[in-house]
Structure 1
Amino acid sequence: MTLQILIADDHDMVRETIAMFLDADGATNTVAASDLSEALEKIRAEGPFDLVLLDYTMPGMKGLDGLQIALEANGGKPVGLISGTATRLIAERALEMGAIGFLPKTLPAKSLVNAVRFMAAGETYAPVNFMSGKDSPEETDFEKALSDREKQVLRGLMSAKSNKEIARDLDLQEVTIKLHVKSLCRKLDAKNRTDAAMIARDAGFV
């Protein structure tokens, strides 16, 4: 029986490479999408798929929100994440939400193909080295650029809290929070606080 697999990633090369390895033995048929809305259209038109693979940072994902939407759209069939930037924490949260697996883009091709078959068969897959933190840096480059206080303020922005609420949570003056928001917008090249929160979410910051 041929496995129907949807690969959604905004990098053509990643999609094509995975598809090439999977289609090599004729046991799978891969369909490609370049963002979440295209993936959802294909699930509606051609699905449910035996496995849907979503790139964590492609357009439309908004962090793990996209995973939730795809899980519902694919009618209970497996949905997994692939990512070159997501941290172990994100992988853990994805699995808790019901993802069938998590594939770092650093996986060798052979392991990748095996992992995809595993997930399509309904088995949860997450590389031990990655989940144990051996292959995962404690901080992403995104986080390294921010101070601890800026990270706290950014989490407040991601929860849609006002400066006043963030100030109260962190036991700081509201004017201090304003300065941190300004500094965050500058560092993240964000137009405003909402934009900063979206940039952080897309970067996998939690």
Structure 2
Amino acid sequence: MQTVILIDANKLFREGLSRLLLDVPFNVAAEFASIEEALVAEPPTAADLILVDPGEDVSAMARLSQLRQAMPVPMVILTGGLDARRLTQALEVGVAGYLMKDMSADALAQSLRLVMMGEKVFPTHLADLLVTGQVQPQPATEITALRKGLSQRETQILRCLIDGDSNKIIAANLGITEATVKVHLKSLLRKINAVNRTQAAIWAMNNGLGASEGTQAANSDGPAVAGVASA
């Protein structure tokens, strides 16, 4: 059984996750409400893995670096929000994983097993950017698109739909065929659970995807992001 140090401000979450991990099996050797508590714990706690939610504090990543130095074991961030800036910082710190709290228990267990085997696990929708070294801070609206698994092209088409553009106009603006527009439109409707282009336009507006970039053609129809781990 692997031992875990669990750091999260929510006591109820810590207790629930501790019980869940026993079935994996991972045993929580110690739990703390903050990184500071873990750093000053006496005596220092030994474990095979650190599972931590750094919270929203802007200085949290600096303290994560201190924790990595004090406890040189694999560290996985388990947090409630996807932020490309924090992901970039986490990579610089050297974390082995960046996981979301809305994932299933089975996916979490599998991800932690992979980490203990020496693998790195990150959100599937940012994996391609990780592989190519292109992870950069992005606006919250773009993160919304990434969380839905939307490709760059699908996001562009959504912006065109806000303007009420027809498939023919979208194709001309983006330099692709109408048939290609239809394929992308069908895919994005499925991803955002919309039944028609009107609902898709409303979803785009509600999620802050303005039309300002809708006519900027990209040179590739491929997805902006792809996965390397099932987490």
Q: Secondary structure at the match of 1:81?
A: strand
Alignment of structure 1 residues 82-121 onto 2, 5 Å:
82-121=78-117
| Larger Rg belongs to | 2
Q: What is the CA-CA distance between 1:87 and the residue it aligns to?
A: 0.3
CA 34–92 in structure 1, closer or farther in 2 if over 3 Å, else same: same
Matched, 1:23 2:19: no
Amino acid corresponding to residue 71 of structure 1 in structure 2: R
Q: What is the CA-CA distance between 1:4 and the residue it aligns to?
A: 1.0
Alignment of structure 1 residues 117-132 onto 2, 5 Å:
117-131=113-127
Q: What is the CA-CA distance between 1:122 and the residue it aligns to?
A: 2.6
CA contact (8 A) 1:9 1:55 kept: yes
Looking at structure 2, the residues matched to 38 and 24 of structure 1 have their Cα atoms a distance apart, in angstroms, of 27
Q: Secondary structure at the match of 1:64?
A: helix
Superposition misfits of 4+ residues, deviation over 6 angstroms = none
Q: Deviations over 1:93-125 (max 9, x none)?
A: 212321111111121121112112222333211
Looking at structure 2, the residues matched to 131 and 138 of structure 1 have their Cα atoms a distance apart, in angstroms, of 18
Matched, 1:10 2:12: no
Q: Secondary structure at the match of 2:5?
A: strand
Looking at structure 2, the residues matched to 100 and 3 of structure 1 have their Cα atoms a distance apart, in angstroms, of 16
Q: What is the CA-CA distance between 1:86 and the residue it aligns to?
A: 4.2
* TM-score, with length taken from structure 2: 0.50
Q: Deviations over 1:122-154 (max 9, x none)?
A: 321112125569xxx9417xxxxxxxxxxxxxx
Looking at structure 2, the residues matched to 77 and 43 of structure 1 have their Cα atoms a distance apart, in angstroms, of 18
Q: What is the CA-CA distance between 1:43 and the residue it aligns to?
A: 8.3
Aligned to 1:172: none
State how many pairs are aligned.
Answer: 132
Looking at structure 2, the residues matched to 44 and 123 of structure 1 have their Cα atoms a distance apart, in angstroms, of 30
Q: Deviations over 1:168-201 (max 9, x none)?
A: xxxxxxxxxxxxxxxxxxxxxxxxxxxxxxxxxx
CA 58–22 in structure 1, closer or farther in 2 if over 3 Å, else same: farther
Looking at structure 2, the residues matched to 130 and 7 of structure 1 have their Cα atoms a distance apart, in angstroms, of 25
Aligned to 2:68: 71
* TM-score, with length taken from structure 1: 0.56
CA 58–42 in structure 1, closer or farther in 2 if over 3 Å, else same: farther
Q: Deviations over 1:41-83 (max 9, x none)?
A: 4485221x21111112177x72311210110011x21112121
Looking at structure 2, the residues matched to 116 and 43 of structure 1 have their Cα atoms a distance apart, in angstroms, of 26
Looking at structure 1, the residues matched to 103 and 42 of structure 2 have their Cα atoms a distance apart, in angstroms, of 26
CA contact (8 A) 2:74 2:96 kept: yes
Q: Secondary structure at the match of 1:45?
A: coil
Aligned to 1:139: 140
Looking at structure 1, the residues matched to 84 and 128 of structure 2 have their Cα atoms a distance apart, in angstroms, of 8
Looking at structure 2, the residues matched to 73 and 43 of structure 1 have their Cα atoms a distance apart, in angstroms, of 13
**Structure 2 gap ranges (5+):** 130-137, 142-231
